[in-house]
Structure 1
């Protein structure tokens, strides 16, 4: 099975400058590259379809929103939420009205839950995923997530499996799953080029020829370590079952490695 990870971008015009795609095998990084925009990532997924070797692709954006928000909009399933994001997501981002925040003059709501259950679970393990409702400010994931959700429905209709709705290897040999790179990078100040370089220099899984590409940007660093972390658990990912609990079916769920520090 092939294992890839995509460090996503919500940038409206320059996503190709930020998005990085990495591929790994157990114990070894195989590639890290840029140059794809969001549509290009979709083309990559379609290119993996129906191949002899199945693929799992980790994506670092939220596949859902808190269940109360979905219910308030008459949404009962994740695919319905993705279609809602396709139709209304850009309006959410432009207006930045509660529960969204992060733009100048806006504040985090204090009267509404802003995290999904899967994010709260990750926080219990010492991780710190931010709320998808935050669409501006340091580390904000909301813009990229809304623009990613807007594509998930189309990808799934084109035969790309989406976890947790679909089991591995997906209906036509490729499955995308939400991942959280910080769970796989370990403690490192990713914003520091020197810290990234030091972290990479002592990791035997990264060939010398790829070290400069991995350390060049935070995006490349995250993609590389997400792919490596997933590859360590390739056997688990190859048999990943669909989930059936109501919360996962409405909010989505992150895949996290079984051993978390």
Structure 2
């Protein structure tokens, strides 16, 4: 029997929502006729968590399709659909809504090829909110029930100003790579989106990595409502501001540098 309630709240579902949003998957006309809109994931949704967030879906597409490190499909999406969307907006839309105080810079690849990029401050809170919606949807799709608890997230493509947060992101990436027990990579269109759940740890936390365009990663921790509050001596020292070294996968990560 199909679930009658929303994937993110206890309201009655009135439609089905694509997770991730369908706009992230390029149209065939923009990617040399390739079909990336097959077997997309949908979950039951109320109006608030579907149709009323269409502007957030577009914001996410504009924010991540052209990130340096993405694959060719992401680049094509940024040069076609993203470009068309931006041209429809007001002159200072990018600076107000997507990436503030940006400057035009040029990156050079190992082969010597130059790439024009924008460098600035992303709308971080809105990005996290968008990824959180996707995380809730993927959890529902994976386990057949709404997640009840706290979701914590780090974005692997962000350069955090806080050194501890940046180091934590690098450590979490390494931890997922070498320490966690994977349930396997899933996603019918992995060039656009794939995800990987990990077995619960000793505290009941469930880890997940979401990857977009093969280069944009979001690291998620699901903490169920009735799980134990995680305690780790190293992290306690870290939070107390004490210089701390944590080793993961043969690499040492230093926090609270003096």
Which structure shows the higher strand fraction? Answer: 2
Which TM-score applies when normalising by structure 2? 0.24
- Structure richer in helix, relative to its length: 1
TM value normalised by structure 1: 0.24
Structure (1 or 2) with the larger CA radius of gyration: 2
